[in-house]
Structure 1
């Protein structure tokens, strides 16, 4: 069976060790932790609707189990925000979360010019 080429995701960074290149997600260990998953699910149970959808008078259910919601950091952790500060959290549906992340990355790229 031919070997499949590694797909590099935009949120991954290179890690070179002993001449080998590995790709590691910057925040993977945090977002994969049981502590974060538990806190995120609790927060989505308490705040089950996407804040951006609510602004548009839509009700998009983002509670745990729907597979639609994300507990998002308003100010990204990569910008130095405390990951456990709940005042920096908001619930977003995948559509609005992806849109927000795209804009953040675009702004970061243009800021480096």
Structure 2
């Protein structure tokens, strides 16, 4: 499928997606990433946890959806998808990326 939505598959982010997105955010109104840090920030984006890359089954799989604020989606999530590493630390200062050398067993 092309970026314009022309092809054998329907447009990904059309009316059906907008309706599903609105319903999801009504039921899951807080950013899951901020919430894990103890912040109650409203979510504005329904993110696909695993990138769907045009796979319609994965695209519509609600177990693959999470609510994120714009900041988390635009910074954290994009960086994670490009580098494959999770940036940042938890409240104790331990790196979030499980592959970081501090998180490896001794």
Partner of 2:53: 78
Partner of 2:18: 37
> What is the deviation of 1:101?
1.7
* Partner SS state of residue 91, structure 1: strand
Root-mean-square deviation over aligned CA pairs: 2.2
* Partner SS state of residue 12, structure 2: helix
Structure 2 residue runs of 5 or longer lacking an equivalent are 85-106
TM-score (norm: length of structure 1): 0.60
TM-score (norm: length of structure 2): 0.64
- Report how many residues are paired: 77
- Select the structure that is richer in strand: 1
Structure 1 residue runs of 5 or longer lacking an equivalent are 1-23, 63-68, 108-113
Give the one of 53, 57, 77 matched to 1:100: 77
